[in-house]
Amino acid sequence: MRATHIIELKKRGIELTEQQISFIVNGYVKGEVPDYQMSAFLMAVCLKGMSSAETAFLTNAMLLSGDTVDLSSFGALSADKHSTGGVGDKTTLIVAPIVSSLGCIVAKMSGRGLGHTGGTIDKLESIDGFCTDLSHEEFLSQIKRIGIAVIGQTGNLVPADKMIYALRDATATVDSISLIASSIMSKKLAGGAKNIVLDVKYGAGAFMKTKTQAEKLAKEMISIGEAFNRNVSTLITNADAPLGYAVGNSLEVIEAVQVLKGEMRGEIRDLCVDLASNMLMLSLGWDEEYAVQRANEEIDSGRAFSQMKKWVAAQGGNEEMLENTDLFIKAPYIYEVKSEKEGYIEQINAEKIGLASCMLGAGRTKKEDNIDMFAGILFKIKVSDYVKEGCTLATLHTSNKALIKHAEKLFYEALSFSPSPAESSKNA
């Protein structure tokens, strides 16, 4: 078998066999297939697509490239969630305590932020002392004790995805449904959960720009999950604008705490209850109405917040910071962005806001970059709000004063105004 032959077949749109797909993936991981051949293969996949069978073979080849976590001793109780990437998405911090407080097992490996999107691990590390690097034994013993543990990706979890994803990032081959589905599902399968809930995003801040593409991606991931004997449910959600008011690590933890304390209602709580109820339906067999009711009760009773404190303390974090969020260090520079116009907020482009937050220090452009835990953007407005000239739209938080002007420029570029309310709010 030769890599060039496999690339040639895919270039002509011919369906590949399991052996051919394993050959190219294994060869790449072993260093026998060079970057330029893998890049050509990935571009051929982007342009010609893959059948569902090929996507499942690709997922399996990536899954087999490294370690897997065995959660079979928890039976049907283990549940995981994954978002296909967003700006201001702090849902794991809210959903994981809700469902684990109700008896689901959440043994989760999360990622760090890269580019304009944030990562759960960075957010958790903004809590003093929180350790995201547990040994395998510590991880399992914490799950048995309190039903929840969240750690960073272990060194050898799906190494094929780590290598291929880095190459995709550099070769404009990210936005392929087969490549995204296999990348996400290989990691979810390796994580070991029996039940998987996927929040598939579309819009300006997402890889899938249209709802139809997101639905296709969701269908592909469900079929992979079924082929591997997992229960998968999907939500299709819009990611044109950032989720909630906070973008940036500690700012997002504080917002998550506000939701868990019952102090914040609206889109984040609604999405989290939706995600949580899907996890509860799959792992505990509840019907939708009951699952939604129990998820809401868990927040309103304070039990979900207590569970978050228990979880943070178990991983060495200072749970006092959750009780009193004033204990989070504030960025030395907090700058108010004033509106230059009057009118209705028509759009807040999530990708540009993610980049502005990154520029302030909240994200990385390269894996090795250090991040500023307290940097980010705190909005005072949402899409459809009416604003007057000179009113505060948001505050920019950073440790580096020199970055503010550039971030402010990008912030303004993310916003568009309209003289009349958006269609949806006219009807509201």
Half-sphere exposure of 32 (CA within 13 A, CB side): 11
Q: Which two tokens stand for residue 355?
A: 């980049």
* Least Cβ distance, residue 183 to ligand URA (angstroms): 3
Among 3, 63, 180, 218, binds ligand URA (CB under 6 A): 180
Decide: 398 and 404 in contact? Cβ < 8 Å.
yes
Q: Torsions phi, psi of 419, nearest 5? A: -75, -20
Tallying the residues shown for the chain, one arrives at 428
Q: Is the dihedral of CA 106, 239, 282, 264 positive or negative?
A: positive
225 is a contact residue toward ligand URA (CB under 6 A): no
Phi and psi, residue 21, nearest 5°: -70, -40
Tokens of 4: 């060039």
Contact 164, 35 (CB under 8 A): no
β-sheet bridge partners, residue 387: 343
- What would the two tokens of residue 262 be? 């019952």
Cβ proximity to ligand URA: between 361 and 363 the closer is 363
Question: Looking at 179-187, 216-224, 246-254, 314-322, which segment touches ligand URA (CB under 6 A)?
Answer: 179-187
Which of 200/415 has CB closer to ligand URA?
Answer: 200
Interface with ligand URA (CB under 6 A), residue from 29, 114, 163, 184: 184
Quote the radius of gyration of the chain (alpha carbons, Å): 22
**Considering beta carbons, is residue 80 or 372 the nearer one to ligand URA?**
80
CB of 143 to ligand URA, least distance (A): 22
CA-nearest of 405, 360, 415 to 384 is 415
- Closest approach, Cβ 290 to ligand URA, in A, equals 32
What is the total count of residues that contact ligand URA (CB under 6 A)? 8
When the beta carbons of 45 and 291 are compared against ligand URA, the nearer one is 45
Of residues 42-101, those binding ligand URA (CB under 6 A): 84-85
Yes or no: say if 145 and 314 are a contact pair by the CB < 8 Å rule.
Answer: yes
Closest approach of ligand URA to the CB of residue 352, in Å: 19
- Which of helix, strand or coil describes residue 121? helix
DSSP state for residue 78 in the 8-state scheme: B
Query: Residue 148 — φ and ψ, nearest 5°?
Result: -150, 135
The residue number with the shortest CB distance to ligand URA is 183
**Least Å distance between CB 14 and ligand URA?**
24
Residue closer to ligand URA, measured from CB, 179 or 279:
179
Decide whether 115 or 421 has the Cβ nearer to ligand URA: 115
For residues 125 and 316, the answer to whether their CB atoms sit within 8 Å is no
Nearer to ligand URA, 102 or 164 (CB): 164
Regarding 183 and contact with ligand URA (CB under 6 A), the answer is yes
Specify the stretch interacting with ligand URA by CB under 6 A; choose among 50-58, 176-184, 237-245, 406-414.
Answer: 176-184
Give the span between the Cα atoms of 206 and 220, in whole angstroms: 17
Point out which span in 91-99, 143-151, 175-183, 372-380 binds ligand URA (CB under 6 A).
Answer: 175-183
Considering the complex, state which of residue 162 and residue 309 has its C-beta at the smaller distance from ligand URA. Answer: 162
Q: Which stretch binds ligand URA (CB under 6 A): 178-186, 231-239, 299-307, 394-402?
A: 178-186
Residue numbers annotated as active site: 82, 161, 168, 183, 187
**Smallest separation (angstroms) from ligand URA to the CB of 15:** 21
190 lies in the binding site for ligand URA (CB under 6 A): no
CA-to-CA distance for 56 and 224, rounded, in angstroms? 6
Options 30-38, 177-185, 302-310, 377-385: segment touching ligand URA (CB under 6 A): 177-185
Q: Name 236's Cβ contacts closer than 8 Å, sequence gap at least 6.
A: 200, 202, 211, 214, 215, 218
CB 183 within 8 A of CB 161: yes
Least distance to ligand URA, CB of residue 173, Å? 10
Token readout for 344 is 């209705």
Q: Could you give the CA distance from residue 121 to residue 140 in angstroms, rounded to a whole number? A: 18
Enumerate binding residues for ligand URA (CB under 6 A).
84-85, 165, 179-180, 183-184, 207
